[in-house]
Amino acid sequence: MAGRRVAIVGAGMTKFVRRALETGQELAWEAASKALESCEMTLDQIDAVVLGSAPDAFDGVHMKVEYLSPGAGAWGKPTIRGYVGGGTGVFAAIQGWYHIASGMFDTVLVVCEEKMSSCHPHPQAAFNYIFDHTLERPLGPNLLWIFALEMNAYMTKYGLTKRDIAMVAVKNKRNAADHPAAQLGDPHITIEDVLNSEVLAWPVQRLDVSPTSDGAVAIVMAAEHIARRVTNKPVWVEGVGWSLDTQYWTNRDLSYPTYVEEAARKAYAMAGIREPRKEIHIVEPYDPFDYKELHHLEGLLLADRGKAAELIALGIANRDGDMPVTPSGGLLGVGNPIAAAGLMKVAEIFWQLRGEAGKRQVPGQPRRGLAQAWGDLMQVGTVIILGI
């Protein structure tokens, strides 16, 4: 383990909704103040702030994190923005970790916020700017294209069916029914509902996709000597890793997320994990689309290539299975305010390992969990491993 030991000691969040009355600043404030309150800390005990938020284009506010900063407790404090697209939520926690592990700070407040509803007529408008301006934008692409292209490459390579993949959406939306912050939890959804939903960009259908959302999540991180004073249940950061693949996405093997494997291998090495399938008890892989959960389980080396769907089919990935996957309900169920969604996954592992996940609590006193996010132009993997 590099550097000093670092723990997460508190977490808070807002409900995720399609459109919130609250501004981004107000959402950040609600999540940040709840996180501080949860560990009975106040802002004057925080040394530095890490703020994560995805494209400025969603809000139409340039330097969005500076705009958010008053609500995120950043007044008069060393503050940094983390931004690796969808990978931001987990990356922000990694930044919080190295701020403290390095010895630079003892306590860090990590806040991730996203308000996608401001962008009209649809947040997709902001996503059009991720494509190459000369070689791709003249073709009139939309964001769904790249996911549909990747999903088809993955399905075809391994002979997977839409039904194999739809099981992920069903599991996660059902799990989310037990999450008090969820936007799209549904205890009764069936595979047929997913398979019969509107085709958007085949093979992607409406219920294969997470919603657009407004929301914020915050965690408090602390060095060991503080963490032990603040709580009797610190959740330790045991490993972190991140990696970026080439921007030339049409030159990659789209059927396998190599960058997730690279990030996972770094995190496993740091945590001293040799057999991740035995040593990781709960997983929160990034699931903006149902196939992405499977893709990422394979990149995390928690399933053989092309075989992750079997974990879902056999119930191994259920909340009461041998390796619960996305017990929170994930982006598909809780919602997808981009950066906040990634940090929600970190917060879920925190609550699960402390036995505080309520109706979502995974049985058997899990001791170690992994959260992963993914983003930019389908090219970044961010991984954090937490343990008690």
Residues forming the site for another protein (CB under 8 A): 11-22, 27, 30-31, 34-35, 37-38, 60, 117, 120-122, 124-125, 128, 132-136, 138-145, 148-150, 152-153, 156, 180-181, 199-204, 214-215, 246, 248, 250-254, 351, 356-358
Q: Between 25 and 142, name the residue whose CB sits nearer to another protein.
A: 142
Q: Which amino acid is at 42?
A: T
Q: What is the smallest separation between the CB atom of 16 and another protein, expressed in angstroms?
A: 8
Nearer to another protein, 80 or 200 (CB): 200
To 5 degrees, how large is the angle CA 351–CA 78–CA 94? 40
Measure the CA–CA gap between 152 and 159, rounded to whole angstroms.
10
- We find the least distance from the C-beta atom of residue 144 to another protein, in angstroms, to be 7
Q: State the minimum distance, in angstroms, from the CB of residue 108 to another protein.
A: 18
Identify which of 98, 110, 134 has the alpha carbon closest to the alpha carbon of residue 5: 98
Report the 10 Å Cβ neighbour count for 256.
18
- Locate 9 and state its tokens: 């000691």
Residue 81: exposed, middle, or buried by beta-carbon count in 10 A (0-12, 13-18, 19+)?
buried
Q: At what angle do helices 143-158 and 290-299 cross, to 10 degrees?
A: 60
- Nearer to another protein among residue 191 and residue 244 (C-beta): 244
> Residue 286 or 351: which CB sits closer to another protein?
351
Give the residue with the Cβ less far from another protein, 267 or 282: 282
Task: Evaluate whether 199 touches 205 at the Cβ level (below 8 Å).
Answer: yes
Q: Which is nearer to another protein, 242 or 249 (CB)?
A: 249
Contact 238, 368 (CB under 8 A): yes
User: How far apart are CB 102 and another protein at their closest, in Å?
Assistant: 28
- Least distance from C-beta 276 to another protein, angstroms? 26
Kindly tell me which of 18 and 278 has the beta carbon lying closer to another protein.
Answer: 18
CA 305/CA 302 separation, integer angstroms? 9
Q: Minimum distance from CB of 203 to another protein (Å)? A: 7
Residue 329 falls in which region: left (phi positive, over 0), alpha (psi -120 to 50) or beta: left
Residue from 253, 252, 302, 312 nearest 281 by CA:
302
Q: Residue 41: which of 10, 81, 64, 17 has the closest Cα?
A: 10
**Two tokens, residue 367:** 């001791």
Residue located via tokens 């959406």: 169
Min CB(354)–another protein separation in Å: 9
CB of 376 to another protein, least distance (A): 15
**CB 181 to another protein: min, Å:** 5
Smaller CB separation from another protein, 131 or 374:
131
* DSSP tag of 4: S
- Report CA Rg, the chain: 19
Nearer to another protein (CB atom), residue 98 or residue 258: 258
